[in-house]
């Protein structure tokens, strides 16, 4: 049976974890889920048993401890596969499981066909390439590329079972010590329905005031290109792209961003892209649904002013 690691956001299963459960069902067999800390309702996601790992010392994310738990539980269940979402945490934990157990890991998969030889389709190069791969393993480790699978509801009678892992001190050495809210608070880049991003065209750290203002008016999050993080205008947590966060908002507003493939890799999951760029030949226009050609320092404040007017604020 497949074992699926389920991450939580605010006490509910994360969207990438629900997508992972949907894909794991294509592997066949009763689905066992693992959550760490507190129970979540997975009865609409085809889960036969939810295992809740509880340990006195485990009060925050600790990748080695989570890997140890997955190893112990998968041995106990004789799981024939382990799945996790291809999130930062999911890939981090599964790489540790692979190293500890000497098992092969396929990351960022979008489809899986089981058999003596497992056929997988994987996203590579930030999603610009799909790889058809084959894997032979009694217990393949698979992470699922976020936002590539549509969640399908499957009702099941889910049993809850408590699991107490045996953890060594060194497995708790690396752990989250503190959560610090990002500036602007609230909406995370990966989950935001609107993302307003700025690139080199914004010109400076101070220039981001107009980007932040528009994001706030739209209830969205602020993103940026790598040029911006390299210049130190914003931290890496705001970077969208192949080596940043992959976003899938309803609307992505790209201000002063040229549209390099490494940037597009992070925002092509957006339902609509609005590009604001001074250059009518900027590559981003090939990916954009809407474009405004001109100076963002005039256009962005004008959009904010119009929004305020419409809202009577």
Ligand X SMILES: Cc1cc2nc3c(=O)[nH]c(=O)nc-3n(C[C@H](O)[C@H](O)[C@H](O)COP(=O)(O)OP(=O)(O)OC[C@H]3O[C@@H](n4cnc5c(N)ncnc54)[C@H](O)[C@@H]3O)c2cc1C
Q: Which of 66, 76, 65, 86 is nearest to 32 (CA)?
A: 76
279 binds ligand X (CB under 6 A): yes
Q: Which residues contact 36 (CB under 8 A, 6 or more apart)?
A: 52, 53, 58, 66, 69
Backbone torsion region of residue 111, taken as left when φ is above 0, otherwise alpha when ψ lies between -120 and 50, otherwise beta: beta
The CA-atom distances, in angstroms, between 280 and each of 194, 216, 258, 292 are 24, 27, 10, 9
Options 24, 244, 248, 252; binder of ligand X; rule CB under 6 A: 244
- Scanning residues 14 to 73, which ones bind ligand X (CB under 6 A)? none
Minimum distance of ligand X from residue 71's CB (angstroms): 32
Minimum distance of ligand X from residue 264's CB (angstroms): 9
277 binds ligand X (CB under 6 A): yes
Please give the order of strands across the beta sheet that includes 118-124: 129-135, 118-124, 105-113, 141-144, 81-85, 2-5, 31-36, 47-53, 159-163
Minimum distance of ligand X from residue 287's CB (angstroms): 12
226 binds ligand X (CB under 6 A): yes
Q: Tokens standing for 270?
A: 């957006």
Minimum CB distance to ligand X smaller for 157 or for 281: 281
Minimum CB distance to ligand X smaller for 86 or for 256: 256
Options 111, 237, 262, 287; binder of ligand X; rule CB under 6 A: 262
The stretch near ligand X (CB under 6 A) out of 88-96, 110-118, 169-177, 223-231 is 223-231
User: Which spans of this chain sit near ligand X (rule: CB under 6 A)?
Assistant: 199-201, 225-227, 239, 241-244, 256-258, 260, 262-263, 266, 276-279, 282, 295-297
């Amino acid at each position: 049976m497949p074992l699926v690691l389920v991450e939580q956001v605010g006490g509910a299963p994360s969207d990438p974890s629900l997508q992972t459960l949907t894909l794991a069902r294509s592997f066949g067999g009763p689905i066992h889920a693992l959550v760490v800390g507190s129970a979540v309702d997975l009865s609409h996601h085809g889960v036969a048993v939810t295992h809740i790992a509880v340990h006195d010392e485990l009060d925050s994310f600790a990748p080695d401890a989570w890997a140890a738990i997955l190893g112990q539980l998968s041995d106990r269940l004789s799981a024939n596969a382990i799945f996790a979402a291809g999130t930062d945490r999911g890939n981090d934990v599964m790489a540790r499981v692979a190293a500890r157990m000497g098992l092969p890991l396929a990351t960022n998969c979008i489809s899986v066909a089981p058999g003596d030889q497992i056929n997988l389709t994987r996203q590579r190069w930030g999603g610009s390439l799909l790889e058809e791969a084959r894997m032979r393993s009694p217990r393949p480790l698979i992470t699922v590329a976020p936002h590539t699978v549509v969640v399908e509801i499957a009702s099941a009678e889910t049993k809850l079972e408590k699991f107490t892992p045996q953890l060594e001190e060194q497995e708790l050495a690396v752990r989250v010590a503190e959560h610090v809210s990002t500036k602007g608070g609230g909406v995370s880049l990966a989950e935001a329905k609107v993302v307003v991003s700025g690139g080199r065209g914004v010109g400076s750290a101070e220039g981001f005031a107009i980007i932040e203002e528009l994001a706030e008016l739209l209830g969205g999050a602020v993103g940026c290109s790598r040029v911006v993080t390299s210049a130190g205008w914003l931290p890496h947590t705001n970077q969208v792209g192949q080596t940043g966060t992959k976003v899938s908002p309803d609307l992505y507003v790209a201000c002063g961003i040229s549209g390099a493939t490494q940037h597009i890799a992070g925002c092509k999951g957006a339902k609509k892209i609005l590009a604001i760029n001074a250059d009518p030949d900027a590559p981003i226009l090939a990916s954009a649904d809407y474009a405004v050609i001109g100076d963002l320092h005039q256009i962005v404040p004008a959009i904010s002013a119009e929004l305020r007017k419409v809202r009577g604020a």
